[in-house]
């Protein structure tokens, strides 16, 4: 038996029954899952967690899947939390700089967390066809997990989605269509097709369960740090499911007595070419209107409008955090800098968090002694890289002095 009590609208608090599919609430806002945390506390202990090895499924009492046979797994791991002391020293930080590397998950990104849960719940509900818009990595995760579950998928991508992502999605069994627009345009096609086609819309925050998968980032982070949360978290923010999910995870852990009341400052990182959350935060607004002409090569944060905008902004403000936008060139420079100086390949969105960390450290928005965590949301191997390389003609005398 599971521990879910009910679901509720994140805006109005209106309750919805568990055990049946849901999209958005009656007022068109995200629905979140609620648990009997007293029962969870009796069933789950820190000692039990130490004995488990099933990646994020180790937190099954805090996840909504009722039947074990419905958990779809592709070999998830607890993603590593890595410290970079050389960069700390270079930047004059006296605290710690850590990166949680989500690129180690199946399909190479943190989208595996949310889509594993959404697909597992779809299997539990007997849903046979799922559809979504994607800038790349979410579609790949949906295709992989849904194929493993025997569920049909249809995926719509903006026409400038990296070809490697489009091929990955199609190769893993989804029907893929390229759209001459942005992700919100793709989302409209998915939404408008629900009645005509009969698919289930698994767009960001338009169903309750991707949040539950993404919250496992917060559960893992707390456990990895000995149940002491960091001072600040830099999170690449498009739809913001992970930031919202982690904030939810911290609340649940405190109610269970696993952590105290200390919370990290949550920092929403965006690009200057697409920064609706930053604009709303700076203007004191609760909602972020559509960002016109959105552009950034960091496709995962190129989301012109987010249905959970108010949830992102609430978490940022409640944590005394902030929203920050970084320039496109700073993203690319930070990407190359981290690779060359630390030997660690961030993805562009992860590079945006490093650029934001440096900017916030420089202007005093965070302290030099803060313990900071950056989220690298995907493997950098999925993205085109440019670098200068030399050549050697093996048929000619080789000047070995050039290699010194």
Q: 324: domain CATH number?
A: 3.40.50.1100
Contact between 118 and 88 under an 8 Å Cβ cutoff? The reply is no
pTM of the model: 0.95
In a domain, 20, yes or no: no
Q: Quick check: is 102 in a domain?
A: yes
Domain that holds residue 348: 81-106+210-382
Tell me whether residue 2 is in a domain.
Answer: no
Residue 391 belongs to some domain of the structure:
no
Contact 240, 342 (CB under 8 A): no
Q: Name, in order, each residue with C-beta under 8 angstroms of 282's C-beta and a sequence gap of 6 or more.
A: 323
What domain count does the chain have?
Answer: 1
Domain annotation covers residue 174: no
- For 241, the token pair is 């499911």
- Whether residue 393 lies inside any domain: the answer is no
56 domain-assigned: no
Each residue's pLDDT, cut to its tens digit, for the chain (404 residues) gives 589 999 999 999 999 999 999 999 999 999 999 999 999 999 999 999 999 999 999 999 999 999 999 999 999 999 999 999 999 999 999 999 999 999 999 999 999 999 999 999 999 999 999 999 999 999 999 999 999 999 999 999 999 898 999 999 999 999 999 999 999 999 999 999 999 999 999 999 999 999 999 999 999 999 999 999 999 999 999 999 999 999 999 999 999 999 999 999 999 999 999 999 999 999 999 999 999 999 999 999 999 999 999 999 999 999 999 999 999 999 999 999 999 999 999 999 999 999 999 999 999 999 999 999 999 999 999 988 888 899 999 999 999 999 99
The answer as to whether 222 is a domain residue is yes
């Amino acid at each position: 038996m599971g521990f879910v009590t009910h679901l509720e609208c994140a805006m109005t608090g209106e309750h919805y029954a568990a055990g049946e599919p849901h999209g958005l609430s009656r007022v068109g806002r995200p629905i979140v899952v609620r648990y009997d945390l007293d029962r969870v506390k009796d069933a789950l202990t820190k000692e039990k967690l130490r004995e488990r090895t099933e990646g994020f499924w180790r937190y099954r009492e805090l996840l909504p899947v009722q039947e074990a046979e419905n958990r779809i797994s592709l070999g998830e791991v607890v993603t590593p939390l890595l410290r970079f002391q050389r960069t700390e020293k270079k930047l004059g930080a006296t605290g710690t700089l850590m990166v949680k590397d989500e690129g180690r998950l199946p399909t190479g990104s943190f989208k595996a967390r949310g889509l594993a849960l959404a697909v597992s719940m779809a299997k539990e509900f007997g849903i046979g066809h799922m559809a979504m818009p994607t800038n790349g990595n979410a579609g790949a995760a949906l295709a992989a997990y849904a194929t493993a579950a025997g569920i049909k998928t249809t995926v719509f991508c903006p026409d400038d989605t990296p070809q490697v992502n489009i091929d990955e999605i199609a190769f893993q069994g989804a029907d893929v269509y390229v759209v001459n627009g942005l992700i919100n345009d793709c989302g409209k096609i998915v939404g408008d097709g629900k009645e005509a086609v009969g698919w289930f819309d698994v767009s960001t925050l338009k169903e309750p369960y991707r949040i539950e998968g993404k919250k496992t980032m917060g559960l893992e982070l707390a456990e990895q740090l000995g149940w002491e949360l960091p001072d600040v978290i830099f999170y690449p923010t498009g739809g913001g499911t992970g930031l919202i999910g982690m904030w939810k995870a911290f609340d649940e852990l405190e109610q269970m007595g696993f952590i105290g009341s200390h919370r990290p400052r949550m920092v929403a990182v965006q690009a200057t070419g697409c920064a609706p959350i930053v604009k709303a935060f700076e203007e004191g607004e609760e909602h972020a209107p559509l960002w016109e002409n959105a552009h950034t090569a960091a496709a995962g944060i190129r989301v012109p409008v987010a249905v959970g905008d108010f949830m992102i902004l609430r978490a940022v403000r409640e944590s005394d955090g902030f929203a920050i936008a970084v320039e496109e060139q700073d993203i690319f420079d930070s990407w190359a800098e981290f690779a060359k100086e630390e030997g660690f390949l961030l993805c562009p969105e992860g590079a945006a968090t490093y650029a934001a960390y440096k900017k916030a450290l420089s202007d005093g928005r965070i302290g030099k002694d803060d313990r900071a965590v950056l989220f690298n949301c995907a493997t950098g191997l999925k993205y085109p890289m440019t670098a200068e390389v030399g050549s050697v003609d093996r048929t000619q005398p080789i000047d070995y002095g050039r290699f010194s």
